[in-house]
């Protein structure tokens, strides 16, 4: 299953660098791959593939995740989307 997380950050470059230091946290959430993107306005998105969405959400709401986000210099606007529908053309 795919889960997208969108946030506002202080610096996209800092976020990209720090995001890649959270291997153990992501592994505990069942994440196997993360796709990353950003806008010029310091809004970022990560689309993460997980084999355990319930555990992902549980850990996402844990203080350890808040600490990781603080390291990434996330300033606000955090939203999580469970991508639970596919539309194929």
pLDDT along the chain (89 residues), means of 10: 98 97 96 97 97 96 93 95 96
pLDDT of residue 81: 98
Cα angle: 68, vertex 69, 72; to 5 degrees = 95
Are 51 and 78 a contacting pair, CB within 8 Å?
no
Domain ranges of the chain: 2-83
CATH entry, 2-83, from 1.20.1630.10, 3.30.70.100, 3.20.20.70, 3.40.50.2300: 3.30.70.100
User: What pTM was estimated for this model as a whole?
Assistant: 0.92
Number of other residues whose CB lies within 10 A of the CB of residue 58: 13
């Amino acid at each position: 299953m795919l889960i997208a997380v969108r946030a506002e950050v202080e610096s996209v470059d800092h976020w990209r660098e720090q995001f890649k230091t959270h291997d153990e946290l992501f592994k505990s959430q069942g994440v196997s791959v993360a796709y990353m993107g950003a806008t010029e306005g310091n809004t970022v998105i990560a689309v993460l593939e997980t084999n355990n969405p319930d555990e992902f959400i549980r850990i996402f709401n844990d203080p350890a995740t808040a600490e990781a986000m603080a390291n990434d210099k996330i300033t606000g606007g955090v939203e999580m989307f469970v991508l639970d529908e596919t539309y194929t053309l």
